[in-house]
Amino acid sequence: MSWSKLKQQLESFLCPALHGRVEYRATSYRYLPDKAGLCYISVDNKNVLNMSDRTGLIKWYQTELEIKNDSDIQIPVNHEEIEAVRIDTKGNVPEDRLQVMVRNRKISEYAKELLSAQASLSKSNFIVAANKFLSTSIEESLESNDILLNILALVDRRVGKKRILNMTEVMKLKHPIVQYFYELRRSTL
C-alpha cells in the first residue's frame, strides 16, 4: 500500500479531539535509492517519535556483532532447529556448518529483539506496524508489546473514554512514549 493511502487510513481512525493535532509524516528519496527515508509522528507540529532507516541496519549489525563476540553469551542449538535448516538447504550442507548457520540465525533474531526492546524504530517498522494495526482488532493492538501498535491504538477513535480511564495501571508498565500518548489521549477526555 502506498504511503499516502496508509496515512489517510490511519488519520481516518484518529479520535476527533486529536484530528489535526496528531500527524503521521514520512520522507523518502525517489532518485537516491541508497538514501533511507524518515518517518515520524508529530503532535502539535512537534516531532515526538522519530523513526529513521539510516542507522537501523548499522545498529542491528553492531548488536549482532556484540552478541557474536561476547563469550559469556551462550546460544543453545537444538536438533529441531538443525533439521529445519537442513530441510531449507536441501541437505547439501555439512553438519558442523548447519550448527553455525542455526546459531547465526538465532543471533540475528536476538539482535532484532534487542533493538525492538530498545525502541530503535524505523520507517519500515512503522509501515509494517501500521498495516498490522489496520488488520487486527483494537484489543490486540492495546495488549501488544509493540510500541507502535500501542500508540496507534491509543489515539484511535474506537477506544472509548471508559477504556482509556481503566488503563491507568497497565500504562505504568509501558514504554515512556506510549505513556506520553496515553496522557495526550487522557487530556482530550
- Picking from 59, 42, 17, the residue whose alpha carbon sits closest to that of residue 151 is 42
The answer on 134 and 107 residing in a single domain is no
CA 35 – CA 57 distance, rounded (Å): 13
CA 4 – CA 121 distance, rounded (Å): 20
The answer on 104 and 60 residing in a single domain is yes
Q: Which domain holds residue 102?
A: 56-117
- Give the pLDDT score at 52: 67
- Give the pLDDT score at 18: 93
Which of 87, 117, 147 is where one domain is finished?
117
Which of 78, 94, 117 is where one domain is finished?
117
Q: Is 142 strand, coil or helix?
A: helix
Q: Using an 8 Å Cβ cutoff, are 153 and 141 in contact?
A: yes
The answer on 62 and 48 residing in a single domain is no
The answer on 139 and 94 residing in a single domain is no
Residue 16 DSSP label: G
CA 114 – CA 61 distance, rounded (Å): 12
CA 95 – CA 143 distance, rounded (Å): 41
- Please name the helix (run of DSSP H) or strand (run of DSSP E) that holds residue 25, with its range, or none: strand 22-27
Number of domains in the chain: 2
- Give the pLDDT score at 92: 83
Summarised one tens digit per residue, pLDDT across range 84-127 is: 888 888 878 888 888 888 888 887 777 776 666 555 566 667 88
- Give the pLDDT score at 33: 56
pLDDT of 144 > 80? The answer is yes
Side chain identity, residue 41: I
**What's the mean pLDDT when you consider all of the chain?**
82
- Give the pLDDT score at 116: 63
The answer on 65 and 10 residing in a single domain is no
Q: Is 23 strand, coil or helix?
A: strand
The answer on 46 and 133 residing in a single domain is yes
The answer on 148 and 170 residing in a single domain is yes
Q: Using 50, 70 and 90 to split pLDDT, how confident is the model at 59?
A: low
Average pLDDT score over residue span 138-156: 91
Q: Which residue has the higher pLDDT, 139 or 61?
A: 139
- Give the pLDDT score at 78: 86
- Give the pLDDT score at 75: 77
Model confidence pTM above 0.85: no
Q: Which residues pair with 23 in a beta bridge?
A: 42
99 CB-contact burial (10 Å; exposed 0-12 / middle 13-18 / buried 19+): middle
Which grid cell sits at 165? 480511564
Which of 70, 102, 117 is where one domain is finished?
117
The answer on 49 and 60 residing in a single domain is no
